[in-house]
Amino acid sequence: WEVRVFMVPPSSGSCHKCGAGGIYASFLYYGSLQEDVLSFEAQDGGKFVYSWFLQVLEAATNVVLGGLLMVVMEGGPRPVPQAAYAISGAVQVSAKYCTTSAMMSGVSFPVATLAKSSKMVPVMAGSLLLGKASYSWREYAHVLMIVGGTAVVSLAGGKKKGGSSSAIGLTFLVAALICDGVVAGTQKRLKADLKAVGFKEKNFEMQFFTSLYMCLAAIVFAVIMGEFAPGVQFCITHPEVGLALAKVSVCSAAGQAFIFYTISNFDPLVCTTVTTTRKVFSVLLSIFVKGHVLDAQGWTGVTLASVGILGELEQKFSARPQKNEDKTK
């Protein structure tokens, strides 16, 4: 869901707080609810194991809210090229599916969240292999800290329910990171396709169309994998899970809307700051509220990864004045 669009500066501090507060509230609650759903165990031992069905619910809610905001704030849809949206939507929902499946396979929420912050790894690897980019020692150091810290946490003992992250779960996380790397390329193609027909990106239009194809892809896979009907039945049998899933979907859609709102009205770095620090807070909230008990090794890993995440953010702040100076020369 990473989108970079340069728009007009903010008109008031209250709007800034609204956007940032909305992102924090939506995604912190989203993470807490998602962890509750994935750790739920009924009296008969039944668990919610319908990852594709969850993607359908989230994407469908994003389609509804994104479509409404697109009509109200952007004047409705335009005849934009659909191929890049379709590819981006399919890959993004695959990334979300892999992340959810990783947690269903035994990877804790803190590990999954920290690992998702390593998405620069496939991007850097692809760029280096193609010979199209070079990176500073700081960028390498930040990535190594995030990856290393995540590995330390995943291998640490004393976690909730014991044991280290499963091999299957970690494999799903790697697949999610690969999908994230592909998404970056599809978004570049999307911008190029829009430019070719004389259009510029519109944020809520992007939320609507991307979510639409995410939803369609999720429905297809949910039906193929036999998750749709069982997922519905599980929610009927366990209404508390159904209610939690509804809240998860609303938080997902609201969080995305606040992200696009913030991008539209402020410097993109403001949104990057909020979403980056939100990951750290989500990890800490999960540890303290959901019963994850970390030993010294686990806390060392969390600290190392968090320093890497915040280091990336600080570097972006430091680079911005330099870019502005270059433009004035």
Higher pLDDT, 131 or 234: 234
Question: In this structure, which amino acid lies at residue 177?
Answer: L
In this structure, how many other beta carbons lie within 10 angstroms of the beta carbon of residue 104?
Answer: 21
When the pLDDT of each residue in the chain is averaged and rounded to a whole number, the result is 81
- Residue 144 — pLDDT band, cuts 50, 70, 90? confident
Would you say how long the chain is, in residues? 329
Q: Say if residue 328's pLDDT is above 60.
A: no
188-247 pLDDT, tens digit per residue, is 788 888 888 888 888 899 899 999 999 999 999 999 999 999 999 999 999 999 999 999
Other beta carbons within 10 Å of 215: 22
**Tens digits of per-residue pLDDT, 25-67?**
999 999 999 999 998 988 888 999 999 999 999 999 999 999 9
* pLDDT given at position 304: 84
Determine the Cα–Cα distance for residues 135 and 125; give it in Å rounded to an integer.
Answer: 11
For residue 152, what pLDDT is reported?
Answer: 77
pLDDT digits (tens, 9 = 90+) for 241-267: 999 999 999 999 999 888 888 776 665
Residue 276 has pLDDT above 80, yes or no: no
Place of tokens 């947690």: 103
**Do the Cβ atoms of 111 and 149 come closer than 8 Å?**
no
Question: Residues near 181 by Cβ (< 8 Å), separated by ≥ 6?
Answer: 119, 121, 122, 123, 125, 126
- Range with the poorest average pLDDT among 6-10, 61-65, 119-123, 293-297: 6-10
